[in-house]
Amino acid sequence: MVNLIGGIWSGSDTNVMNTALSKLIHPNADMPYCIIQTVESGLAFITNQAVGDKLKNEQLLRLHLFGEGGDFTLRYDDGNYLWRFVGTALSQDQLGGDAYQGELAVGIEQHALLWGEFDANRQRWYENIVGSAQLTYPIAEKHERLTIHARSVIDRDGEVVAFWTYKLAGYIPQQENKEQR
């Protein structure tokens, strides 16, 4: 069963947020990827396990954890943290917040190319258009290009109510069919 949960955590009392985040950052949550933005360090694409150190020492602005277990987004706005979780790894009992009322199912899977190509000389992903950007993707395999994958989450009427980002993968170009030339 797919869960869709959301809520607001107070920015002045982060105990509730930190308790919930400890469940999300835990390896059993099966959300190994993280995009994080802090006041001090800006935007970074890191592994889930590296989030704890950032949260101890930096002011969180945005957080996006994702994987096969679910997709969690959080953003700081006007003194509060607004958040949303879609997935199967956690329930409303574990996170609090308000749950979507109704049945949800996984819909169509989609993917998009990420910025940059892997540059063997630099030993990192690099893109001329955003040359100064540190394109650090937490994936062990060094593919030339990477894709990010998401699936739509639909309600009983087939309407899309959310998207669930779930993996990074190497890009495999489609082979041209020489017979069609």
Task: Write out pLDDT tens, residues 103-113.
Answer: 999 999 999 98
pLDDT of residue 175: 63
pLDDT of residue 71: 95
What length is written for the chain?
A: 181
Best-predicted range by mean pLDDT (35-39, 53-57, 171-175)? 35-39
Q: Please give the backbone phi and psi of residue 56, each rounded to the nearest 5 degrees, phi first.
A: -70, -35
pLDDT of residue 181: 46
Asked if 57 contacts 91 with a C-beta cutoff of 8 angstroms, the reply is: no
CA Rg value for the chain:
18
Average pLDDT, the chain: 84
Q: Please give the backbone phi and psi of residue 23, each rounded to the nearest 5 degrees, phi first.
A: -75, -35
pLDDT of residue 29: 73
pLDDT of residue 166: 95
Work out the burial of residue 14: count CB atoms within 10 Å of its CB; fewer than 13 is exposed, 13-18 middle, 19 or more buried.
middle
The arithmetic mean of pLDDT across residues 113-139, rounded, is 72
Asked if 146 contacts 124 with a C-beta cutoff of 8 angstroms, the reply is: no
